[in-house]
């Protein structure tokens, strides 16, 4: 029995089949190259010289394709990538055909909300690329002959684009911005007006004790409205009316609640 057939038999018998065991066996006995060059967010290239064995029949071919798809899924989920180049023997029609279907399998051209299955791992990757490159880089697979695999990965032909993070400080200089950090033991809220942090408060809470989702959401909505109201008072020059410590003023003489911090600048 072939090595692929032995894994299929184990799976059909409901015995565990681990991807690490498949990888080790395929790397040891495989004769067909499937080399992956993953260009990471910092433009470095990580290479994976995978090998797979010859297949006897459609079932074994499907198993090998599922293995390679799962390996790519794990790479994208754990590392992310700007692009992945796959190098295979152009004379290996089944493996070449599979490589050419990768953009369809991972749904690279499908909107985020419509992706299913393996395509979902690209959603976070796409959002990360949008943040890092301002939307100028979009992930895709490319396929080339193994004979053309470069010794050194070439540099990108075009610049990666200006990260949107660089524009955030300037964008925050105008308007009212609010942030909320929802944790398992406390909730922190903060707001800025025209680039100046003017409201910050931390509340203890115990979300695990709340019996319904409505009870979970209600205090967060209340804190949102309260923070917005406090920031609007500051924006109108009425910061002294914010409950708790006045803006840049002394601490209040009366506690505002259990371990609650007063409003502060």
Provide, rounded to the nearest whole percent, the portion of the chain with pLDDT above 90: 52
Final residue in a domain of this structure, among 164, 180, 213: 164
Among candidates 117, 127, 129, 116, which has minimal Cα distance to 84?
129
| pLDDT at site 53 | 95
* 151, 33: one domain: yes
* 184, 129: one domain: no
* 210, 229: one domain: yes
- Averaged confidence pLDDT in the chain: 85
Half-sphere exposure of 246 (CA within 13 A, CB side): 8
* 147, 71: one domain: yes
* 120, 73: one domain: yes
Segment 97-122 mean pLDDT: 93
| pLDDT at site 94 | 95
The answer to whether 132 touches 139, Cβ cutoff 8 Å, is no
Give just the sign of the alpha carbon dihedral 44, 49, 52, 58.
positive
* 136, 62: one domain: yes
Segment 234-259 mean pLDDT: 54
CB-based contacts of 198, cutoff 8 Å, min separation 6: 191, 192, 230, 231, 234, 235, 239, 247, 265
Segment 236-244 mean pLDDT: 75
125 domain residue, yes or no: yes
Segment 30-35 mean pLDDT: 95
| pLDDT at site 263 | 44
> What's the pLDDT band for 134 if we cut at 50, 70, 90?
confident
**Entry pTM:** 0.62
The answer to whether 263 touches 199, Cβ cutoff 8 Å, is yes
257 domain residue, yes or no: no
* 63, 152: one domain: yes
Statement: residue 83 has pLDDT above 50: yes
Segment 76-89 mean pLDDT: 94
Task: State how many domains the chain has.
Answer: 2
204 domain residue, yes or no: yes
| pLDDT at site 200 | 86
CB-based contacts of 90, cutoff 8 Å, min separation 6: 96, 145, 146, 147
| pLDDT at site 201 | 87
* 37, 116: one domain: yes
Owning domain of residue 193 = 172-241
261 domain residue, yes or no: no
């Amino acid at each position: 029995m072939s090595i692929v057939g032995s894994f299929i038999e184990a799976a059909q018998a409901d015995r565990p089949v681990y991807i690490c065991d498949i990888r080790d066996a395929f790397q040891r006995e495989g004769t067909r190259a499937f080399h992956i060059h993953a260009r990471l967010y910092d433009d470095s290239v990580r290479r994976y010289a995978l090998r797979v064995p010859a297949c006897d029949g459609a079932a074994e071919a499907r198993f090998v394709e599922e293995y390679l798809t799962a390996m790519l899924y794990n790479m994208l989920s754990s590392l992310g990538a700007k692009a992945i180049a796959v190098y295979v023997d152009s004379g290996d029609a089944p493996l070449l055909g599979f490589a050419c279907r990768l953009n369809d399998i991972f749904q690279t051209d499908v909107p985020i909300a419509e992706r299913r299955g393996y395509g979902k791992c690209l959603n976070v990757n796409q959002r990360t690329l949008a943040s890092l490159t301002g939307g100028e880089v979009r992930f895709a697979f490319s396929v080339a002959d193994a004979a053309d695999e470069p010794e050194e990965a070439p540099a990108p032909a075009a610049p990666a684009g200006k990260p949107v993070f660089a524009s955030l400080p300037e964008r925050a200089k105008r308007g009212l911005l609010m942030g909320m950090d929802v944790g398992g033991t406390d909730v922190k809220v903060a707001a800025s007006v025209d680039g100046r942090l003017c409201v910050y408060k931390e509340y203890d809470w115990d979300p695990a004790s709340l019996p319904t989702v409505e009870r979970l959401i209600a205090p967060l909505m209340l804190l949102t409205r309260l923070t917005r109201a406090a920031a609007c008072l500051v924006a109108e020059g009425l910061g002294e009316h914010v409950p708790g410590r006045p803006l840049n003023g002394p601490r209040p003489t009366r506690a505002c609640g259990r371990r609650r911090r007063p409003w502060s600048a």
